[in-house]
Structure 1
Amino acid sequence: MFRSFRESSIVRIRAGKVQHQETFVAHETILARSDFFRNAMNGNWLESDTRTIEMSEDDPYTVGLYLQFIYVKELPHDSNEPLMDQLEQEYKDLAKVYVLANKLQDTTTKTCTVRRVFDLLQVNVDSEIWLAPDEEAVRTVYEGTYNNDPMRRLFVDVWLGADNWEISVAHDLLAEFFKDIIIATRVQAGLLHKNIAVEHGIERYIDQI
């Protein structure tokens, strides 16, 4: 009883290279949504004795975003920034969280990030601003996932629905993304410049997570 409040339930996570390393603390019961963390703490890994998990290859900023998201389902933002800047930054941060969750085998958080992207689509509609994920967000997702990943498909559909979308802009991004844009353009020609992702519904993207 009350196990999650005992000292023994606290896990330390050291993220990043030595020169830029940061240490985070989290509850084992919260981290257990991830197969990676659950395996690390199940008694077979060294980490289960030291209560410290090394993530030297992972960016501390991204790990911090991931932990905040799994605890409060929100990402940090500056409400004083213009709305478009807030949306652009959140797309970038959601991309980072999704890719890390994918690496950590955390399907719950992957699903939550997709749902949050759908929330941003509604912000686009309500504010009459249609902002697609920028190059950094697209690159993060494509470099951290495999072909036909749900977030890849969602980003493609968001791009196709953007009012300012042009094929020349997509061409300047990753070759894989450009290829997916071309394929989706042919398949969904009748939906271009509409809220394609919303037209399809969120189940199209989360069913395969």
Structure 2
Amino acid sequence: MAGQSQTQMLPPIRGTRSFQLARFQADDSTTFEEFHTITVLDQYQHYSFEELKLNDYTSENRGVIVRPSIGRTFLSETTNGLAPARSPSGAGLFTPCFARRTLAKDTIDFGAAVITFRVGADQPKDFVVHETLAAARSHFVRLAMSKDWKEARDRVITLPDDLPETFRLYQQYVYTNNIASNYFGDNAEDAAEYRFLVNAYILGERFIDLPFKDAIADAIIHKLRGSNFFDPRLTNLVYDHTPSDSRLRKLWVDVYVWAGSPGWLDEDVLGGYVNAEFALDLSRYQMKLASGLAPNRPAYIGSPCDFHEHAGGMCYRG
């Protein structure tokens, strides 16, 4: 295609200040990156990459904003048919690309088998998750589906003690790795999010899904760091549904010590009683601080891994 001009005329780019396009050279040099975001514009969405790549973009006949790379050359050497390309100056002004490329060998084979999770007591709601994915994440699911249990035969796992909205968050996380809980709202909605996240952590305990619990802990910490609101009314919920070595308990006590007030221990705040294990953990932490046996700063402003359960292993965030 060297030296040949193309007869097809593409519409000029008008008013695209967010784009800085380098000139395409129709010779032995090959570039790819100049036009990799151009199809986000309405007038170019129906053109293929090859059609865009082979057209002669110049300021004289296209009305294109042209900025050739300054002090950079495009290389013509190829390796296995691939030509190395350099970013043109102004590439930082391209529309960001949010695609996250991963290793092809890590592709998940979802298969065809699914599990129905029937969640809730009064008006249960069904959620469907691929068995391969659910079993890979949850030791609880692996056990439920590994033997001749009723759950394995019916391919239905009932969760009467959980809320449908809580499992919906877990289902979203399984497929997207996102914790969809941010309300961006007032104090009432802030309180709802704290309860939402605590219930999700409790579900993670039941499912024995450590990365999910770590992700929920991160979400709570993220909320703590960006908010001046906390909900101590959830203290007994945390302690009644987590084991003694729970990282969520550790986080809760840390917040009480460094951000709390005496009113947080009132019975009407704690639902009529103070959990004995919570009182013991709180007292122990305060005694360690007084003796110089604990860092003199809140742990929740440090590394989130302090509240993760991967111990010395790999963090879920990589």
Identify the structure with bigger relative contact order (alpha carbons < 8 Å, sequence gap 6+): 1
Note the 1:181-200 alignment, pairs <5 A. 181-189=282-290, 195-199=298-302
Alignment of 1:53-64 (within 5 A): 53-64=157-168
Moved over 4 A (4+): 189-194
CA RMSD of aligned residues (A): 2.8
Q: Helix, strand or coil for the counterpart of 2:226?
A: helix
- 1:170 is matched with which residue: 250, 265, 272? 265
TM-score, normalized by length of structure 2?
0.53
- Per-residue deviation, 1:23: 0.9
Q: In terms of Rg, which structure is larger?
A: 2
* Shift of residue 153, structure 1, vs aligned partner: 0.7
Task: Measure how far apart 1:108 and its partner are.
Answer: 1.6
Q: Does 1:202 align with 2:304?
A: yes
Matched, 1:157 2:257: no
8 Å Cα contact 2:218-2:304 kept in structure 1: yes
Q: Give 1:143's aligned residue.
A: 240
Q: What are the superposed Cα offsets for residues 150-171 of structure 1, whole Å, 9 maximum, x if unpaired?
A: 1101111022222xx2234224
- CA positional deviation for 1:107: 1.1
Please, what TM-score do these two structures have when normalized by structure 1?
A: 0.77
Residues 123-167 of structure 1: CA deviation (Å, up to 9, x unaligned): 13xxxx2x233313x2221110122311101111022222xx223
Q: SS at the partner of 2:117?
A: strand
Question: CA-to-partner distance for each residue in 1:14-33, whole Å, 9 max, x for gaps?
Answer: 1223x421111112233120
Structure 1 alignment gaps of length 5 or more: none
Please say if residues 151 and 205 of structure 1, whose CA atoms lie closer than 8 Å, have aligned partners that are also in contact: yes
Q: How many angstroms apart in 2 are the aligned matches of 1:152 and 1:168?
A: 19
Which amino acid is the alignment partner of residue 134 of structure 1?
Answer: P
Task: Name the count of aligned residue pairs.
Answer: 195
Partner of 2:149: 45
The structure richer in helix per residue is 1
SS in 2 for 1:62: helix
Indicate yes or no: 2:232 matched with 1:134.
yes
**Aligned equivalent of 1:97:** 200
Contact 1:39–1:45 (Cα < 8 Å) also in 2:
no
Change (3 A) 1:36 1:133: same
Counterparts of 1:148 and 1:100, CA distance in 2: 16
Give the counterpart letter for 2:264 in structure 1: V
